[in-house]
Amino acid sequence: MYISEEQIAAVLTYEALIPAIRHALIDYSTGKVEQPLRQVLRVKDRAASPIGWFATMPVIHGDFMAVKTVTFYPDNTRMPTHLAVIELLDRATGQPLAVMDGRLITEMRTAAVSAVAAEALAPNAKTLGILGSGVQAHSHIEALRCINPAFREQGSIKVWSRNPGNAAKLAAATGATAVSIEQAAACDIVVTVTAAMTPVLLGKWLAPQSLVIAVGAVGPVLRELDDEVMRGYLVAESRQGSENESGDVILSSAKVQSELGEILAEAAPFPPRGRTVFKSLGMAIEDLTGAALVWKALNN
C-alpha cells in the first residue's frame, strides 16, 4: 500500500501529532524505543563531486517498526531539497503495512518536536523569532501557534532570512513581520531553521531568559549557533544524537544537561532560570509516530 503526500496532508494534523510526539519523546528517554543512530552516506556524482547525502533511519516502538530513507540535495531547484520515504511494518509479524511519502511527515514532525519543546521550556513566551524562510520556517510558525495563542497576535512573530525577499514573502503569508537578525534574535523564543554551515546566531543578540530551538545544521561539522549561544543550559532531543551528529554541540564542546523526554517525564530537573538551548536533529521514532497516525487514520 502506497500512501501519497496528498493523502497524508488530508489526515495528519498538528493537533494530533504534537501530543503524540510528546509521548514518543518520553518513551525514547525512558528506554522504550529501539533506535540506532542514523547511517549517513555522502553522495557523489560520477565525476566524484559531492552532491548530497543519503541516510537510513530504523526504529522499533509500540506495535510498529519503521525505516525512513531520506536524501538531502541542497542544490535541488525543481524539487524539494529534502525527500524521504517511510516504510511502516507490523512489529508482531514483520509484515509491511505501508510505504508512504516521507517529506511532509518529516516537515511536520520536526515542527511538532519544536512545539513540544517550546510548550515545556518557555510556556509564557510572548514573542517568536524565526531565522530562516524555507519550508521549516513556515511549518514552525504553524506548529508553535497551536501551542501558544500569543503567537497568533499581531507583531508577535518576527522573521529574518539571508534573502530579504524570502523573509518578506514568509511574513506576508503568515502575518509575521520581516526584521533584522538582531531583532529576531531578541525574541523570547528563537528558532533557527537555516541552511547555514557556520554560525548565524550570536549570543550577544539574545535576551537573558530566551529559549533557542536549533533545528538546522544537522551534521558534525555544521553550525548555526556561536559558542556564546551554546553556553546556555543545553537540552537535547537525543543525548547520543547530539554528541555524534551536531556540529553546534561537538565544535563548541558543550555538554548536554538533559534530554527533553527526561524533563517531560520528570526524570530530570527543569532548566534553571536563564538561557536554554534545545538542539533538535530529528529521530526515527518521530517519523514512526507520524506514520502510525496516518496509518490509523486511513484504516479506521
Per-10-residue mean pLDDT of the chain, 300 residues long, equals 95 98 98 95 95 95 97 88 94 97 95 98 97 95 97 96 95 96 97 92 96 90 94 95 93 96 92 94 97 95
**Cβ neighbours of residue 19 under 8 Å, at least 6 residues apart?**
none
Compute the distance between CA of residue 152 and CA of residue 75 in angstroms, rounded to an integer.
34
Q: Which three cell numbers stand for residue 189?
A: 523564543
What's the fold here for domain 2-105+285-298?
ornithine cyclodeaminase, domain 1 (3.30.1780)
- 286 within 8 A of 20, measured Cβ to Cβ: no
- 140 within 8 A of 169, measured Cβ to Cβ: no
Compute the distance between CA of residue 4 and CA of residue 300 in angstroms, rounded to an integer.
18
pTM: 0.94
The b-or-e profile of 132-159 (16+ CB within 10 A means b, else e) is: bbbbbbbbbbebbbbbbeebeeeebbbb
The predicted structure's pLDDT at residue 224: 95
Task: Give the class (CATH, top level) of 124-282.
Answer: alpha beta
Q: How many CB atoms lie within 10 A of CB 2?
A: 9
Q: How many CB atoms lie within 10 A of CB 227?
A: 15
What one-letter code names the amino acid at 257?
Answer: Q
Residue of 106, 147, 114, 131 lying closest to 15 (CA atoms): 147
Q: What is the DSSP letter of 3?
A: E
- 196 within 8 A of 140, measured Cβ to Cβ: no
**Cβ neighbours of residue 184 under 8 Å, at least 6 residues apart?**
129, 130, 131, 158, 159, 160, 190
Q: How many CB atoms lie within 10 A of CB 101?
A: 20
Q: Domain locations in the chain?
A: 2-105+285-298, 124-282
